[in-house]
Chain A
Amino acid sequence: MKKIMAKASRMNKVFIVVALAVILALFMLLTGCQKKAVKPEAPPPAAEKQPEAVAKPKEKVPEKITEQKVEAVASKDVAAPYAEGKEGMFADILFDYDKYDVKDSYKAEMMKVSAHMTKDSSATLSIEGHCDERGTNEYNLALGDRRAKAVKDYLVSLGVPSSRIETISYGEEKPLCSEQNEDCWSKNRRAHFVLLKKAGK
């Protein structure tokens, strides 16, 4: 009896495995290959039966080509807090390639700027940082920023109040000299001084 029971249960197992396999196979046929099964097999029209050179498209509705309209946008003007000031009172501070430290040889010029700022206590100074064209745009703007700041720090150390010194970087965008040689590039790697007047005065 026990033996028969065991045999029956073993037969059951076999049956279950086979049944599962058949279900799995059916499932895979229906889902796994669904794309294939569902895809309508339109009979391929013979080439010679096509009356027109331009075969009729299967998709009946044509795709409408559109484009997002791009209109010109006007930027708002930003009023400069300062009118353009006086230039050329002080010599440019020149820098070595890819460097932003003020060389000792410019000590006299820096003293001159500092003395002027002390004498004329209403003056505001703008220091423009510039670079030669060999670098890439964004890095040059950062480099010009560091050059202008280095000159500012120097002047602050000489006693000029920080609040009276503005800095701006122009990177390689405003070269003084446009030839492609070291003589020209060295003139472009500069900090340039501009004495500013408040706008409207």
Chain B
Amino acid sequence: MKGRFNIQHSTFKNVFILIFIVTLHCALFTAAEAKIYIDITSPSSKKLPIAIYDLQGPFGKEISEIIRDDLTFTGLFMYIDKTSYVETPAQAYNPGNWRPLGIEAVVKGGVSGAKELTVTINLYDTFEVRPILSKQYQAEENLIRQMAHNIANDIYTALTGTPGIFRTKIAFVAEDDGEKGIYLMDWDGQRARKMGLKGRLVLSPHWSSDGSKIIYSSERGRQWGLYLLDFLKMSEKSVFVSRGTNMAGDFFPQGDKVIFSSSKDGTPDLFTLSLKDSSVKKLTASYGIEVSPAVSPDGNFIAFVSDRGGSPQLYLMRSDGSEIKRMTFEGSYNTSPGWSPKGDRIVFSCRRGKNQICTVKPDGSELVQLTEQGNNEDPSFSPDGRYITFASDRDGKQAVYVMRANGEAQKRISPKGLRSSGPRWSPN
């Protein structure tokens, strides 16, 4: 009896060891496959030293410059200047040329063609011989910037394991010849263009979650209305006009419903508007002001501004208008809330003498102030949550700025001399 028990026991033991080995084996190889060069979730991770050659051929220098700017702004890379490269562009890649310099990634490539350009990109990890990214791109000459941003996205993804935002856009309001209008620019401030939408007064645009539409408010003929621009149809539609002040607002994630603030019944309250049947539903009813509603990424919550407590503060409620809770208690003027894409932080304008940009958790904890100079308003997160765009008058005229979500690397991006406000980062 004893012997049999022993046999059985050791069999079980062997089985467990076998299972353990197989599991370990799997875990090891899965980890090795998805190699992450930079852990973007770690705030303290060191910058990755990267060499980026001027691509050989037409527009090569220009394309490389855009890739460098994109990657450098993330704060995750340290661009190593060309002067220290040992290999000439014509020489083949050899990891031995790079490791002694401490460079961990190398981008090489070339451009061919005239009007239709073909770019070849090779991204090397200096601990391997083969490229970790090897790809060709084709673009018309007028799409060079877009192509360079695409390449930067691919390099970023190869090294961080997450999508890049370098082809996203920022919609904003600008004033030109005394008339306001909606403008669109690349996230780096290039290619700013007027959408031609007019109105004596126009407020900040808001994107649908698929990026195909924006909604904004405009005063036309002494009435504030909500207008919708469809980028696929390239047409503008009036979606709500009434007496009183009507201000968008935000899309719900499905894109078939918007939330807005309207004083049509008296005081400014929050309403939802169905874009399918134009039905309007009232969500709040207070004597004071309810304005600037922002829908959480999952569509379940609304962050908004109310003066019900005596001063403008941020509040949070369920999207049916229930369970209203105050979010901010510090300072006497907190407005313009916007959600991070994960829904874990709210960015807003906080009064600290002048208006600054702050972020806070939706439960009101962990308040952080990100700006210090001038007046800063209308903040909006990038779709990956790593950057924030906002309007500031720190250099005189109001302009659009971007910064990292921790407040680093603040810079103006809107064209100099163009009075710009109300920026909103596109979702894609």
Residue of B nearest to A199 (CB): B221
A166 within 8 A of B: yes
Residues of B within 8 A of A45 (CB): 129-130
Of the residues B30, B128, B241, contact of A35 by C-beta under 8 Å: B30
B372 within 8 A of A: no
Residue of B nearest to A29 (CB): B22
> Which of these binds chain B: A73-81, A87-95, A111-119, A183-191?
A73-81
How many A-B residue contacts, CB cutoff 8 Å? Answer: 243
Of the residues B108, B377, B421, contact of A53 by C-beta under 8 Å: B108
Residues of A within 8 A of B184 (CB): 70
B7 within 8 A of A: yes
Residue of A nearest to B131 (CB): A55
**B245 and A169 contacting across the interface, CB-CB below 8 Å:** yes
Residues of A within 8 A of B333 (CB): 98, 135
Whether A21 contacts B138 in the complex (CB less than 8 A), given A139-B289, A142-B291, A145-B263, comes out as no
Whether A70 contacts B231 in the complex (CB less than 8 A), given A46-B129, A55-B122, A136-B335, comes out as yes
Of the residues B199, B221, B289, contact of A146 by C-beta under 8 Å: B289
Residue of A nearest to B305 (CB): A139
A40 within 8 A of B: no
**A73 and B335 contacting across the interface, CB-CB below 8 Å:** no
CA distance A17 to B7 in the complex (A): 13
CA distance A63 to B23 in the complex (A): 38
**B267 and A146 contacting across the interface, CB-CB below 8 Å:** yes
**B377 and A137 contacting across the interface, CB-CB below 8 Å:** yes
B86 within 8 A of A: no
Interface residues of A in 2-31 (CB under 8 A from B): 7, 10, 13-14, 17-18, 21-22, 24-25, 28-29
**B292 and A139 contacting across the interface, CB-CB below 8 Å:** yes
**B231 and A68 contacting across the interface, CB-CB below 8 Å:** yes
Interface centre among B22, B30, B121, B243 (most CB of A within 10 A): B22
Residues of B within 8 A of A58 (CB): 134-135
CA distance A170 to B15 in the complex (A): 77
**A168 and B136 contacting across the interface, CB-CB below 8 Å:** no
Of the residues B4, B234, B422, contact of A70 by C-beta under 8 Å: B234
Interface residues of A in 118-146 (CB under 8 A from B): 126, 134-139, 141-146
Whether A136 contacts B33 in the complex (CB less than 8 A), given A46-B129, A48-B92, comes out as no
B242 within 8 A of A: no
Residues of B within 8 A of A167 (CB): 243-244
Whether A18 contacts B11 in the complex (CB less than 8 A), given A75-B199, A78-B223, A139-B292, comes out as yes
Contact with A along B128-144 (1 / 0, CB 8 A): 11110011111110010
CA distance A22 to B21 in the complex (A): 12
> Which of these binds chain A: B190-198, B273-281, B403-411?
B190-198
Contact with A along B97-127 (1 / 0, CB 8 A): 0000000000011100000001011100000
Residues of B within 8 A of A170 (CB): 201, 219
Residues of A within 8 A of B291 (CB): 138-139, 141-142
**A17 and B15 contacting across the interface, CB-CB below 8 Å:** yes
B83 within 8 A of A: no
A182 within 8 A of B: no
A52 within 8 A of B: yes
Residues of A within 8 A of B329 (CB): none
**B203 and A137 contacting across the interface, CB-CB below 8 Å:** yes
> Could you say which interface size class chain B belongs to?
35 or more
CA distance A67 to B268 in the complex (A): 40
- Closest beta carbon of chain A to B188's beta carbon, Å: 15
Contact with A along B205-226 (1 / 0, CB 8 A): 0000000000000111111110
- Closest beta carbon of chain B to A37's beta carbon, Å: 9
**B15 and A57 contacting across the interface, CB-CB below 8 Å:** no
CA distance A167 to B263 in the complex (A): 10
**B195 and A141 contacting across the interface, CB-CB below 8 Å:** no
Contact with B along A29-52 (1 / 0, CB 8 A): 100110110010010111110111
**B222 and A82 contacting across the interface, CB-CB below 8 Å:** yes
Whether A63 contacts B220 in the complex (CB less than 8 A), given A17-B11, A17-B15, comes out as no
**A53 and B89 contacting across the interface, CB-CB below 8 Å:** yes
B94 within 8 A of A: yes
**A138 and B267 contacting across the interface, CB-CB below 8 Å:** no
Whether A138 contacts B203 in the complex (CB less than 8 A), given A14-B7, A50-B92, comes out as yes
CA distance A139 to B410 in the complex (A): 25
B150 within 8 A of A: yes
A173 within 8 A of B: yes
A62 within 8 A of B: yes
A71 within 8 A of B: yes
Residues of B within 8 A of A72 (CB): 193-196
CA distance A58 to B136 in the complex (A): 9
A181 within 8 A of B: no
- Closest beta carbon of chain B to A62's beta carbon, Å: 4
Query: Which residues does B use to contact A, with CB under 8 Å?
Result: 4, 7-8, 11-12, 15, 18-19, 22-23, 25-26, 29-30, 33, 56, 89-96, 108-110, 118, 120-122, 128-131, 134-140, 143, 146-147, 150, 184, 193-199, 201, 203-204, 218-225, 227, 229, 231-232, 234-236, 238, 241, 243-245, 247, 261, 263, 266-268, 289-292, 305, 311-312, 333, 335-336, 349, 354-355, 375, 377-378, 421-422
Q: A58-B135, A134-B375 are in contact. List 17 more A-B contacts (CB 8 A).
A: A33-B26, A56-B134, A65-B143, A65-B147, A70-B195, A75-B197, A75-B198, A134-B354, A137-B203, A137-B422, A138-B247, A141-B224, A141-B247, A142-B289, A142-B291, A146-B268, A173-B201
Q: Would you list 13 pairs from A and B whose C-beta atoms are within 8 A, ordered by A residue?
A: A14-B8, A28-B22, A29-B25, A33-B30, A35-B30, A54-B108, A54-B110, A54-B122, A57-B120, A62-B137, A65-B150, A138-B247, A170-B219
